[in-house]
Amino acid sequence: MSIVNGIKSKIIIWLFGAKKRHKNINLKNVKSILINPKDSIGDTLMSFCYARQLKKMYRNVKLGLVVTSRNMEFAKLCNENEKIIDNIVKRNDVLKNHKKWDVLLDFLSKENTKRMIWKKVLSPKITMIFGERDEKHYYNKKNLKNYDFDCTPPVETHIIDYLVNSEFSKYFEIEKQKPHIELLEKDIIKMEKFWKSDSEKTNEKTQKVKILLVPQGSDREMKPEEVAELLNNIENEKMKNVKIIMGKTAGSEEYYKKLISKINKDLNVLLSREFNIKDFVLFAATADLVIGVDGGSIHIASSLNKPLLSFYANDKYNLCRWSPKTTADSLQVISKVQGSHEKTYGFSLSEPIKWLNEEIEKIEKEKEN
């Protein structure tokens, strides 16, 4: 860091890097809490788990959730039927929320000037931080005192359990959560049409086993060759009774072409239309089974309690924090290649092939009854 930048950083810390700490803090007396997560699908889902825990601690607490344009519609969907969040707060509306919140739960990991200013303007009475801070970065915990409680959990803690051993645990017994989204059956049924062939009646559910395939995430994807090997090993007598729809995202058309060129011609694999986030969640709710790579779609499938075949990179930190939390039948497959969370390839497929065939058979029997 240059001398000039060093001076600038010191001035910014002096202006925005500290807060007045309240004396004799008693977390039994809290009337409002603002949750500030990262704006991904997974982090937004976890925020609703925290909200449920907080409502059990404080029956009459006002809860807010900070959103950006990236996760606003998804947050609205998660809250639409459950209505556990009282205020969805746009991150840019910080002036409107100046000194309006008793507690800020800050889950953003790395501090920067913009975030420091945002918290200074917000000025909650109490701030808890949960994100790790890079000690090599100048804006680290040693230099910053813009929080009251550092609740950063051990690295092996799943993100859904961040509140369990936080400062709140000194006052309350905090129940563990499973992610879920409350949807209305009438909304889900409307999405059944996307699974049907022209010969099936509009008001009937298809009897085929409906598999949602999501091999691509925002920053990672499975190799089409490995997905093809998995699907090609669906047993012959089951192939005719399976319908697979691949979720459409950026770059999906090219990926789909590669996949189709490698799979058995007897398999019915289609590329979905491009859904908005609400319709995608409702569409996922109609699937019998989900196959996918680590990412938002896997977290959605977990929240819908779908049988789930998930593929993850061999990244210990990511596995600890983001492995699926579901009570449905599931198999998590971990890459043989150690490395960062983007390395979603090099999977041993013998176990997932066996699991997939057994799960298809189980679903077939359920549909017959």
How confident is the model over 207-215, as a mean pLDDT? 95
pLDDT of amino acid 199:
58
Residue 336 within any structural domain of the chain: yes
Residues 152 and 34 in one domain: yes
- Type of residue numbered 11: I
Residues 150 and 206 in one domain: no
In this structure, the number of other CB atoms found within 10 A of the CB of residue 350 comes to 9
Residue 15 within any structural domain of the chain: no
pLDDT of amino acid 362:
96
The answer, yes or no, to whether residue 1 has pLDDT greater than 60, is no
CA 73 to chain centre: 14
How confident is the model over 231-236, as a mean pLDDT? 97
Residues 238 and 138 in one domain: no
Lowest mean pLDDT among 16-25, 105-114, 208-217: 16-25
Residue 88 within any structural domain of the chain: yes
Residue 133 within any structural domain of the chain: yes
| Residue spans of beta strands (DSSP E) within the chain | 32-36, 62-67, 87-90, 103-106, 126-129, 149-150, 209-214, 242-246, 268-271, 289-293, 308-314, 330-338
The answer, yes or no, to whether residue 203 has pLDDT greater than 70, is no
Number of structural domains in the chain: 2
Where a domain ends, among 135, 170, 205? 170
Residue 106 within any structural domain of the chain: yes
Residues 120 and 190 in one domain: no
Residues 244 and 207 in one domain: yes
**What average pLDDT does the chain have?**
92
Angstrom distance (rounded) from CA 200 to CA 155: 50
- Helix, strand, coil shares of the chain as percentages rounded to 5? 35, 20, 45
Residues 46 and 157 in one domain: yes
Quick: pLDDT tens for 259-273: 999 999 999 999 999
Residue 7 within any structural domain of the chain: no
For residue 245, which of 187, 292, 313 has the smallest C-alpha distance? 292
φ, ψ of residue 289 to 5 degrees: the values are -160, 145
Angstrom distance (rounded) from CA 227 to CA 261: 12
Lowest mean pLDDT among 5-14, 95-104, 280-289: 5-14
Where a domain ends, among 170, 199, 215? 170
- Type of residue numbered 254: E
Quick: pLDDT tens for 44-91: 999 999 999 999 999 999 999 999 999 999 999 999 999 999 999 999
Q: What DSSP state is assigned to residue 249? A: -
The answer, yes or no, to whether residue 228 has pLDDT greater than 80, is yes
Angstrom distance (rounded) from CA 193 to CA 212: 14
CA 30 to chain centre: 28
Say which residues have a Cβ less than 8 Å from residue 154's Cβ, sequence separation at least 6. none
The answer, yes or no, to whether residue 132 has pLDDT greater than 70, is no
Residues 250 and 348 in one domain: yes
Residues 284 and 354 in one domain: yes
Where a domain ends, among 119, 141, 170? 170
Residue 14 within any structural domain of the chain: no
Residues 157 and 38 in one domain: yes
How confident is the model over 116-130, as a mean pLDDT? 95
Say which residues have a Cβ less than 8 Å from residue 144's Cβ, sequence separation at least 6. 13, 17, 18, 111, 116, 133
CB 284 within 8 A of CB 306: yes
pTM, entire model? 0.93
Q: Which domain holds residue 214?
A: 185-368
The answer, yes or no, to whether residue 336 has pLDDT greater than 70, is yes
The answer, yes or no, to whether residue 205 has pLDDT greater than 70, is no
Say which residues have a Cβ less than 8 Å from residue 57's Cβ, sequence separation at least 6. 168, 171, 172, 174
Residues 164 and 205 in one domain: no
CB 246 within 8 A of CB 213: yes
Residues 120 and 258 in one domain: no
pLDDT of amino acid 136:
58
pLDDT of amino acid 202:
53
Residues 264 and 228 in one domain: yes
Residue 8 within any structural domain of the chain: no
CB 56 within 8 A of CB 76: no
For the domain that residue 246 is a member of, what is the CATH number? 3.40.50.2000
How confident is the model over 311-315, as a mean pLDDT? 97
